[in-house]
Amino acid sequence: MSEAIRRLRHPLDPKDAEAIAALLRSSFDTPEQAWDAVAVSDLARDGALVVAAPSGCAVIRVALDEAELLSIAVTPEARKHGLGARLLAVAEAEARAAGAARMFLEVAESNAAARALYAHAGYSLAGRRRGYYRRDDGRREDALVLARDLGPGVTPTAPRA
């Protein structure tokens, strides 16, 4: 059964903000990758769009005709069932509705699962940020900047539920 995805509106209900923060905490390797409930609320207040399901979420920001995927998260137990692709497709649709013609994102070079998701959705390499991510052991890792056109003729490649 697929999870319903809904757009959360500003002002975020404190319970929704905490739920998003909890999803982010459960989905990332290090605490600094996730935002707390206050940061999530602040992002929404400042115009970020939040789409959420019980086991995942995506946060985007739109500026003029460009959108940036700030974060996408799916809890470990809900992975490999298409939720990430569905969240991405909904986030892209929200960005398009807000006037974006192109979506950008960053992903750690070693994050093979996320890179596969983005490649399947039609994202391609637009740049590289050398040493962008700091790992717990002190190593630095490059961030790949990926982009995809969202023009009106572009349809999401995410599986339909």
Amino acid symbol at 4: A
The answer to whether 118 is a known catalytic residue is: yes
How far is the C-alpha of 42 from the C-alpha of 161, rounded, in Å? 31
Q: Which residues pair with 7 in a beta bridge?
A: 51
Q: Is the dihedral of CA 22, 26, 32, 33 positive or negative?
A: negative
Given the residues 68, 92, 118, 123, the one annotated as active site = 118
The identity of residue 117, as a single letter, is L
Q: Is 123 a catalytic residue?
A: no
Active-site choice (68, 92, 94, 106): 106
> Which value, in Å, is the radius of gyration of the alpha carbons in the chain?
15
C-alpha 145/C-alpha 150 separation (Å) is 16
- List active site positions: 106, 118
